[in-house]
A and B are shown apart, each in its own frame.
Chain A
Amino acid sequence: MIRSLLSGDMPRSLPLALILGCILICLALAPFLFPGVRTVDTAARICIFIVLVASYDLLLGYGGIVSFAHTMFFGIGAYGVALTSAHMGRGFDAIAIGALVGAGFAAALALLIGLFSLRVRAIFFAMITLAVASAVAVLVSQLSGLTGGEDGLTFKTPRELGPAFKFGKETFDGVLFGVKLNGKLLAYYFVFIGALVLFLTLLRVVNSPFGRVLQAIRENDFRAESIGYRVVYYRVAATCLSASVAALAGSLYAVWLRYVGPDTVLSMELMIDILLMVVIGGMGTLYGAMIGATLFVLAQNYLQNLMGAASELVADLPLLPELLSADRWLLWLGVLFILSVYFFPAGVVGRLRGKR
């Protein structure tokens, strides 16, 4: 049962299995284990980023293609839901249509970019996605009539997903294990189950013959082509698939935040975060995405405070407080990123599975 759910891709290492199980249980029971607005928000962000990072890993880890447009696809999904919800009114139909249109649009755009760049050489893809993504980001902030510009869009999700909606009054008196049964709880589980389904789907994809061919292309594209696989076709298909899953993750994010803006879903910083999560967790395995995203989001939320404290400790020394201030955390991430690509290319999962 578990084996077929995981598509035969078992963790293959006891510590890894324990960590993954722990993450899964914590996320599944987050509202009950860690009640509190901020912690539940963190848990939801982790769920969404696991899917986003896993979809990026399909491209980077399995396909061996670097894309800088992944946040663009994420943003397309988020804006899709935001726009339909804002124009069609609150409702699950608006969310569904927005998510589907977003995913379809993302896939179509990925197909276009892929056809242009991947048919020549994979390296073009990285540069062209960077150019297109930045153009789209600027475009979104300029078309303020449609997208709300820099301010972004605030919209309403269905009443059932908002904190004002209460349920379970008759049976549990509206409270279960000390947690109020309201729409926010439902929204969390909406995000959690959506993320779980998407993650398992991705796991199915990478362990299918399709995923195997992608790995073969990553290892030696010339040889894969000689054996008779059409490299461009597989690479473009992986791009489209990963783009549409990223868009769906964006839709979940929009539903959770009830807000989209260029800084939250389209920024270059987000793209760098995703890269870091993939590399830290381990490229070429979706469990790496799970661990990387969890570690990173936790660090992002709690490490910055630590850096602020450290910066105050050395306030009298020259330059050090500047280097350690919480705003400079991207600097240390960059250093960490370079070091992990050099010394730690298989990431946490690779280490735990005991291969280099």
Chain B
Amino acid sequence: MSAAPEHAPTMAQATLADRVGPYMPVLLVPLLALAGFLAIMNPASWLTLTVSGLAMGMMIFIMASGLTLVFGLMDVINFGHGAFVSVGAFVGITVLMALGQMTAAPSLLLNLGAVLLAVIGAILATGAMGWAFEKVIVAPVYGHHLKQILVTMGGLIVVEQLIIVLWGPEEIYFNRPEALKGAVTFAGAAIEKYRLVAVVVGLAVFAAMRWVLRRTKIGLIVRAGVENGEMVEALGYRLKLVFVGVFIAGSALAGLGGVMWALYQEVITAHMGNHAMILIFIVVIIGGLGSVEGCFIGALLVGLLQNYIAFIEPKAALISNIALMVAILMWRPMGMIPVVKAK
């Protein structure tokens, strides 16, 4: 009888790469900001650009979060998501312009009240529209990606044209409410007030979303549904209903994003949703389809990179997002934080 082989467990310490790996997507944002600082070498401009990049990223996140959740939950890819952005912007700005006295007054309270009313109007309009869109356009083509892409694209065209019918083909220019105009100076850098507001709103939306998804029952069902829908249904939850709710919430968020985007640009066109879609898709892909956290990080990366590059080399700004997407897909083909499906 031979002796048992010598038992010598080795407890090798995980390499640095292994330990940092899981947190890498989160670390990318500060890394990118640092790289931007090194490339610009001017603290004042860097701060301005960083804040505007963060603001842009937050707005893209608000617009994109609905899309990524809808995909994660029901495997529905909505190419018409941009329509909600446009409609939100048009409804919101129409409300805002109707409240001209409130926005022109130099009172902070009145201004914010007007913006709040505009946002509520936009959210109600896009939420209702999301419900109708889901019923009429998306519901008949569940489980069929090709048809989903075609039909939702058709929906986008129809909505865009209807906007032109209702509001006319011209671009509409308008002014931000008094309280949101101008800039504050901090450490020698001029930072537009509105961008700070956008960052705060974006953070609030992200925090609220995370809270709903992580701390409430409905969030639990949604997360479970993303991971394994059949199982959740077998447990007795009507996932279809949850999905409609998520679709409506996602549309309303897109509407909110549309108003914020419009206030940022101070001009609205019927095609703005279509343009926003391109950034939204890039963000959703690099974040990992279905992942809210990935979407948030992706949006910040896109916003920051676009602003830095536009400052350093304006012509390259267009390609920078595509390059970022290519780089991230080479690193992680399913996106930064891929959603694990139990199928």
A337 — which chain B residues lie within 8 A by C-beta?
A: 150, 154, 157
Q: Are A330 and B318 in contact (CB under 8 A)?
A: no
What residues on B are CB-neighbors of A334 within 8 Å?
154-155, 157-158, 161
Chain A min CB distance to B341 (Å): 11
7 nearest CB pairs, A to B: A331-B161, A334-B157, A334-B158, A127-B281, A338-B154, A337-B154, A66-B149
Verify if A72 is at the interface (C-beta below 8 Å from B): no
Query: Are B145 and A123 neighbours in the complex by a CB distance under 8 Å?
Result: yes
B284 touches A127 (CB 8 A): yes
How many angstroms between the C-alpha atoms of A64 and B150 in the bound complex? Answer: 12
Binding site for A on B (CB under 8 A): 77, 79, 137, 140-141, 145-147, 149-151, 153-155, 157-158, 161-162, 164-165, 169, 274-275, 277-278, 281-282, 284-285, 289, 315, 318-319, 321-322, 325-326, 329-330, 333-334
- Bound: A334/B149 CA distance, A: 13
State how many angstroms separate the Cβ of A67 from the closest Cβ of chain B: 10
Query: Interface digits, A113-156 against B, CB 8 Å rule (1 contact, 0 not)?
Result: 00011011011101110111011001100100000000000000
Q: What's the nearest-Cβ distance from chain A to residue B243, in Å?
A: 18
Instruction: Select A138's contact among B79, B150, B154, B318, beta carbons within 8 Å.
Output: B318
CA distance A46 to B285 in the complex (A): 37
Interface residues as binary, A320-337 with B (CB distance below 8 Å gives 1, 0 otherwise): 001100011011011101
Cβ-defined partner of A124 (8 Å) among B140, B155, B277, B285 = B285
Contacts of A342 in B (CB 8 A): 140-141, 151
Complex CA–CA separation, A124 to B285 (angstroms): 7
Query: Which of B157, B158, B278, B326 is in CB contact (< 8 Å) with A134?
Result: B278
Q: Closest CB-CB distance, B155 to chain A, in whole Å?
A: 7
Q: List 7 A-B contacts (CB under 8 A).
A: A120-B334, A134-B275, A135-B278, A135-B322, A142-B315, A330-B161, A341-B150
Contacting residues, chain B, for A123 (C-beta < 8 A)? 77, 145, 149, 289
CB distance from B259 to the nearest CB of A (A): 23
With A135-B322, A328-B161: A66-B146 Cβ-Cβ less than 8 Å = yes
**Contact residues, A307-356 vs B (CB, 8 A):** 319, 322-323, 327-328, 330-331, 333-335, 337-338, 341-342, 345
> How far is B150's CA from A337's CA once the two chains are assembled, in angstroms?
8
What's the Cα separation between A66 and B152 when bound, in Å? 13
Are A338 and B169 closer than 8 Å at their CB atoms?
Answer: no
**Interface pair A126/B329, CB less than 8 Å apart:** no
Closest residue to A60 on the B side, CB-wise? B146
Closest to B147 in A: A341
Interface membership of A275, Cβ < 8 A: yes
Give the distance to chain B from A254, nearest Cβ to Cβ, in Å: 24
Contact of A135 among B150, B158, B319 (CB under 8 A): B319
A279 at the interface (CB under 8 A from B): yes
Query: Among the listed A142, A279, A331, which residue makes an inter-chain contact with B318, where contact means beta carbons less than 8 Å apart?
Result: A142
B165 engages A268 (CB within 8 Å):
no
For B321, list chain A residues within 8 Å (CB).
131, 135
Asked whether B161 lies within 8 Å of A128 as measured between CB atoms, the reply is no
B164 and A328 form a contact (CB under 8 A): yes
Residue A272 lies at the interface, judged by CB distance under 8 Å to chain B: yes
A97 to B145, CA, bound (A): 39
Whether A319 contacts B165 by the Cβ 8 Å rule is: yes
Known: A135-B319, A331-B158. A119 touches B333 (CB 8 A): yes
Partner of A268 from the list B158, B274, B315 (CB cut-off 8 Å) is: B274
Selected contact of B325 from candidates A122, A128, A319, A322, CB within 8 Å: A128
Q: How far is the CB of A321 from chain B (nearest CB, A)?
A: 10
Report the minimal beta-carbon distance from A56 to chain B, rounded to whole angstroms.
12
